[in-house]
Amino acid sequence: MLDDIHNHWKKAEAVRIKCLGVPTLDMDNVCFHLEDKSYGKVIYCNINILLLYRGRNYDPKNRPVIPLMLWKPYAPIYPKLVKNVNEARNGVYVNVVERLRETLKTQEVVRLDCTHVGNSDCKKIGVKLRDLVPCVPILFKDEQIILWRGKLNEEHPSDSHVSNKIAAKKPANGKNNEIQAPE
């Protein structure tokens, strides 16, 4: 990709890059690494489209040397029927992190529908969300992710041990079944 960017910079000052898939969860990270590796500057970023500027004093003869691969990968075979991502996102997950944070403030467990994404991308999305939201991915099944918000506040280990014993004594209906002495 870096070689393609430098080849485009020979003819134009800026390169338009359209990002799709899992990297769109963290576009700030994508922008940082593009600027770091290509020595350019991101001048425009809107949802999943970036404009990468080469700079005024760019000299294509003195560009960084990128080692060529010793092997060439096979050309990808694209399926004839391309499935659309749910809710017309088309592989762009920019707003998912913010919406998930808002939902986890009110609900403890959330189901995220990832139909038409694929199992491997579904797991990659879950791992990214674990770091960005933060939340705990519980289950990946049928192209759906079950996420748990985790504990709201950190307790001391001794306090949590005591509270777990108390919670174990109470039944599910919330009433205490202990026998009390008559007064």
21 inside domain: yes
**Cα separation, 97 vs 100, whole angstroms:** 5
pLDDT at residue number 42: 94
pLDDT at residue number 96: 83
| Residue 179 Ramachandran class (φ > 0 left, ψ -120 to 50 alpha, else beta) | beta
pLDDT at residue number 31: 92
pLDDT at residue number 73: 64
The total domain count for the chain is: 2
What residues are paired with 16 via a beta bridge? 51
pLDDT at residue number 114: 79
Residues 139, 95 share a domain: yes
**Do residues 136 and 148 lie in contact, with contact meaning Cβ atoms separated by under 8 Å?**
yes
**Do residues 2 and 36 lie in contact, with contact meaning Cβ atoms separated by under 8 Å?**
no
CA neighbor of 129 nearest in space, from 163, 158, 100: 100
pLDDT at residue number 179: 38
DSSP 59-116: -GGGPPP-PPPSS-PPPP---SSPPPPGGG-TT--TTHHHHHHHHHHH-SEEEEE-TT
8 inside domain: yes
Residues 53, 20 share a domain: yes
pLDDT at residue number 85: 37
31 inside domain: yes
Per the structure, the complete domain to which residue 101 belongs is given by: 86-148
136 inside domain: yes
Residues 92, 56 share a domain: no
Please give the chain's pLDDT, 183 residues, in tens: 788 888 888 888 999 999 888 888 888 988 998 898 888 999 999 888 999 999 888 888 887 776 766 666 676 665 544 333 344 455 677 788 888 888 888 888 888 887 777 777 888 888 888 888 888 888 888 888 888 888 765 443 444 444 444 444 444 444 444 433 344
